[in-house]
């Protein structure tokens, strides 16, 4: 049931985020074409600001005051119990605040330390680690993954031997999003020939990375959707060592703990009704960590995004400039229009390009959680929004254009 919900929510999220990015990009194109409207343009009204990406320095504080009034209003309209927002300016965390409650039953408030599920925004974090491993020679992005493991993720299909890490990272593997009892695992098209969003592909690549670098506990195994069998791994510890700790994402993890639970947001349904807490253990992480298992705060996730727009010097954990430029380069066209284009990059998320301006835009949808973010490498600005309800998509649709500068 959990995996089926992920599939349904993901389809909704893809449709919604495509529409939202189209609105943003169209609006940005109009602004670029028409030019600024005055010395202090745009105004400080939250419905027509150029906002995070085009605010004049003197407008930020006024805009934040307006947004602090707007967000609770939109939360009430969309039945979202809790929401947390971070703004990035000059590649630093400029402002952050929690709104509402993390649990509609206990009424515990959301604050800046509240932890949410990142859902598919987990993919860029895992992708970054894979790209660093490629730099270190642990894996080659263009070598078929079957060269690294004897596991046949799909039986009786020679096209499996064509799938590379690059195909997985930019969603061109041919795998479905998730298998199910009614929709068994298969390869739907020749790898690399077109786009096909896939959590299954990220799960497959995660298993390859674990084979190369980690440990599998064969005493703790279980079945997931479609009868696929996974055993617990040390992927959570691996990701802690390879990225979360070096990037100072100290409130993030992939498995449930008592410490994490102290600040954990509860999932809620479409009408703000409390749902059962998700308590992922190592077995669950072995299946979903890379594709959607990150548990984090908007502040921690902003730290990751800042590394994408103002990279640290290369070291054992941070990628080189060459790898950095490659991983945020639009590599797989998704939608092309007259004034803007939407592509997928090696981070497994969308890139929106308008003239020379581009946005890196990770987002995600898990049962009871919706999140969205966008950053501009050129302007060193961006935002992260996380919510704890299935109706979070409605809030994001209403709120994000006001944050980003949509219609």
Q: Domains (ranges, CATH) in the chain?
A: 2-404 (3.40.710.10)
Q: 357 pLDDT band (50/70/90 cuts)?
A: confident
Distances in whole angstroms, Cα of residue 259 to Cα of each of 40, 117, 150, 168: 46, 16, 38, 33
- What pLDDT is stored for residue 332 in this prediction? 78
| C-alpha dihedral (210, 214, 217, 220), degrees to nearest 10 | -50
**Residue 374 to residue 13: CA distance in whole angstroms:** 15
- Name the average pLDDT for the chain: 85
Alpha carbon 186 to its chain centroid, in Å, reads 25
Mean pLDDT for 82-93 is 96
pLDDT given at position 13: 42
The set of residues, in sequence order, having a beta carbon less than 8 Å from that of 15 and lying 6+ positions away, is: none
Using the predicted structure, report yes or no on whether residue 2 has a pLDDT greater than 80: no
How high is the pLDDT of residue 248? 98
Q: For residue 375, what are the β-bridge partners?
A: 360, 382
- Return d(Cα 389, Cα 365) in angstroms, integer: 10
Quick one: which of 133, 158, 155 has its CA closest to 210?
A: 133
Contact yes or no for 389/269 (Cβ under 8 A): yes
Match 């039953």 to its residue by tokens.
105
CA–CA–CA angle 343, 385, 291 (5° rounding)? 55
Report d(CA 185, CA 224) in Å as an integer. 12
Give me the pLDDT at residue 59, please.
78
pLDDT class for 35, splitting at 50, 70, 90? Answer: very low
What pTM does this model have?
0.87
- So what's the pLDDT on residue 263? 95
Please tell me the least confidently modeled range out of 51-55, 100-104, 170-174. 51-55
Query: pLDDT at position 66, please?
Result: 84
Q: Please determine, for residue 402, whether its predicted confidence score (pLDDT) is greater than 70.
A: no
């Amino acid at each position: 049931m959990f995996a089926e919900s992920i599939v349904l929510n993901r389809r909704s999220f893809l449709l919604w985020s495509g529409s939202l990015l189209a609105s943003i990009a169209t609006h940005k194109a109009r602004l670029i074409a028409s030019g600024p409207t005055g010395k202090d343009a745009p105004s400080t009204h939250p419905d027509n600001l150029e906002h995070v990406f085009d605010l004049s320095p003197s407008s930020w504080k006024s805009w934040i005051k307006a947004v602090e009034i707007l967000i609770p209003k939109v939360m009430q309209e969309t039945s979202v119990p809790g929401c947390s927002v971070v703004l990035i300016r000059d590649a630093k965390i400029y402002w952050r605040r929690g709104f509402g409650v993390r649990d509609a039953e206990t009424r515990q408030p959301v604050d800046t330390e509240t932890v949410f599920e990142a859902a598919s925004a987990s993919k860029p974090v895992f992708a970054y680690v894979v790209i660093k491993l490629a730099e270190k020679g642990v894996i080659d992005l263009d070598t078929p993954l079957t060269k690294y493991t004897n596991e046949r993720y799909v039986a009786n299909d020679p096209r499996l031997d064509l799938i590379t890490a690059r195909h997985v990272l930019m969603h061109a593997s041919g795998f479905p999003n998730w298998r199910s009892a009614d929709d068994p695992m298969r390869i739907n098209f020749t790898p690399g020939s077109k786009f096909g969003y896939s959590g299954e592909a990220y799960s497959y690549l995660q298993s390859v990375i674990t084979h190369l670098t980690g440990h599998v506990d064969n005493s703790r195994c279980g079945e997931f959707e479609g009868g696929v069998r996974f055993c617990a791994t040390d992927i959570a510890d691996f990701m802690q060592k390879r990225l979360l700790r070096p990037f100072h994402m100290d409130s993030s993890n992939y498995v449930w703990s008592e410490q994490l639970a102290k600040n954990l947001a509860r999932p809620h349904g479409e009408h703000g009704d409390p749902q059962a807490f998700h308590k992922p253990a190592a077995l669950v992480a072995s299946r979903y960590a890379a594709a959607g298992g990150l548990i984090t705060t908007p502040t921690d996730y902003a730290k990751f995004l800042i590394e994408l727009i103002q990279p640290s010097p290369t070291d054992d954990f941070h990628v080189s400039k060459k790898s950095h430029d490659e991983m945020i380069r639009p590599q797989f066209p998704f939608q092309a229009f007259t004034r803007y284009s939407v592509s997928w990059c090696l981070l497994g998320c969308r890139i929106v390009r308008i003239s020379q301006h581009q946005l890196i835009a990770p987002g995600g949808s898990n049962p009871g959680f919706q999140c969205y973010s966008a950053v501009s490498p050129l302007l060193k600005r961006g935002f992260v929004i996380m919510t704890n309800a299935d109706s979070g998509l409605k809030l994001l649709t209403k709120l994000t254009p006001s944050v980003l500068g949509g219609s």
